[in-house]
């Protein structure tokens, strides 16, 4: 879907309906008790037919007669870089029942609707947030598979500098000097040791329903916030 276009659902049913639908199914998150980063926003896109995602390299295909709600979770920082965008996809059948849940995990998209594992709260799937890294899984035990789950948050904090995805090329900019200053800034201000104890309280106290906005709004917010952060870090560290 092109930037700035409304989804078919939004055109046919209106923005209010789309907003209420997104609110009804947005995943509820569980955070490590030491997590330093709160969400800056969640951009939603609703699909009633097959379309390209505006926020990742996927083609979304609803089940027959159903819909898919894409949620793009934006954080100003990943513990290893400036900028992080994670995803969850909630698939609805023709009766509005959850038929599938998928979530992002370091460039891959995984099934997160697992019988006997995935929990729900009043229709909202529950997903666990990898400390500092923000990948999403349906149970915290699965993070044991990640080799650098602790070192990424302390010894290797900030090492990737300013991560600029292809969606933002030409709108955001970095260089080697800025990358290294961002590394220093993240390591100095945010390096931490995960507790691996999870809570339903987010770092900023907001629930996911409060962070929702259409993806087009989030796209503009991301560019503005990252431009501000890179300028602030440049000035603070005298680049």
pLDDT of residue 6: 47
- What share of the chain has pLDDT > 90, as a percent? 91
Asked if residue 227 belongs to a domain, the reply is: yes
- What share of the chain has pLDDT > 70, as a percent? 94
Asked if residue 1 belongs to a domain, the reply is: no
- Spacing of C-alpha 7 from chain mean position: 20
Asked if residue 196 belongs to a domain, the reply is: yes
Asked if residue 2 belongs to a domain, the reply is: no
pLDDT (tens digit per residue) in 174-192: 999 999 999 999 999 999 9
Mean pLDDT rounded to a whole number for the chain: 94
Structure tokens at 149: 């789950």
- Spacing of C-alpha 120 from chain mean position: 19
pLDDT of residue 87: 98
pLDDT surpasses 70 at 9: no
Structure tokens at 137: 């899984």
* Cα–Cα distance measured from residue 216 to residue 175, given in angstroms and rounded to the nearest whole number: 27
| pLDDT tier for residue 15 given thresholds of 50, 70 and 90 | confident
Q: Is the pTM of this model over 0.85?
A: yes
| pLDDT tier for residue 238 given thresholds of 50, 70 and 90 | confident
pLDDT (tens digit per residue) in 192-233: 999 999 999 999 999 999 999 999 999 999 999 999 999 999
Asked if residue 68 belongs to a domain, the reply is: yes
Number of domains in the chain: 1
Asked if residue 155 belongs to a domain, the reply is: yes
| pLDDT tier for residue 239 given thresholds of 50, 70 and 90 | low
Asked if residue 105 belongs to a domain, the reply is: yes
pLDDT of residue 215: 98
SS (H, E, C) the chain: CCCCCCCHHHHHHCHHHHHHHHHHHCCEEEEECCCCCCCCEEEEEEECCCEECCCCCCEECCCCCCEEEEEEEEEEEECCEEEEEEEEEEEECCCCCEEEEEEEECCEEEECCCCCCCCEECCEEEEEECCCCCCEECCHHHHHHCCCCCHHHCCCCCCCCECCCHHHECCECCCHHHHHHHHHHHHHHHCCCCCCCEECCCCCCCCHHHHEEEHHHHHHHHHHHHHHHHHHHHHHCCC
Q: Which of 166, 203, 153 has its CA nearest to residue 35?
A: 203
Q: List the domain range (segments joined by +) for residue 97.
A: 8-236
| pLDDT tier for residue 14 given thresholds of 50, 70 and 90 | confident
CA distances from 234 to 169, 172, 177, 206 (A): 19, 14, 9, 29
pLDDT of residue 18: 94
Asked if residue 3 belongs to a domain, the reply is: no
* Cα–Cα distance measured from residue 190 to residue 78, given in angstroms and rounded to the nearest whole number: 10
Q: Which of 129, 124, 125 has its CA nearest to residue 114?
A: 125
């Amino acid at each position: 879907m092109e930037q700035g276009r409304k989804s078919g659902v939004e055109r046919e049913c209106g923005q209010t309906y789309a907003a209420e639908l997104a609110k009804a199914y947005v995943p509820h998150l569980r955070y490590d008790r030491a997590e330093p980063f709160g969400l800056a926003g969640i951009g939603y896109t609703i699909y009633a037919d097959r379309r390209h995602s505006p926020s990742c390299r996927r083609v979304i295909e609803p089940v027959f007669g159903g819909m898919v709600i894409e949620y793009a979770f934006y954080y100003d920082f990943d513990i290893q870089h400036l900028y992080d965008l994670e995803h969850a996809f909630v698939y609805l059948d023709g009766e509005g029942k959850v038929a599938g849940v998928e979530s992002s995990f370091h460039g891959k998209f995984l099934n997160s609707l697992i019988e006997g594992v995935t929990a729900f709260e009043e229709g909202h799937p529950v997903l666990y947030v990898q400390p500092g890294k923000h990948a999403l899984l349906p149970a915290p035990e699965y993070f044991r598979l990640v080799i650098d789950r602790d070192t990424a948050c302390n010894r290797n904090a900030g090492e990737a500098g300013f991560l600029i995805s292809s969606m933002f090329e030409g709108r955001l900019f970095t260089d080697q000097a800025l990358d290294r200053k961002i590394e220093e800034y993240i390591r100095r201000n945010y390096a931490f040791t995960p507790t691996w104890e999870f809570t339903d309280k987010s770092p900023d106290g907001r629930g996911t329903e409060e962070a929702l906005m259409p993806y087009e709004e989030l796209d503009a917010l991301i560019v503005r916030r990252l431009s501000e952060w890179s300028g602030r870090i440049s000035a603070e560290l005298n680049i």
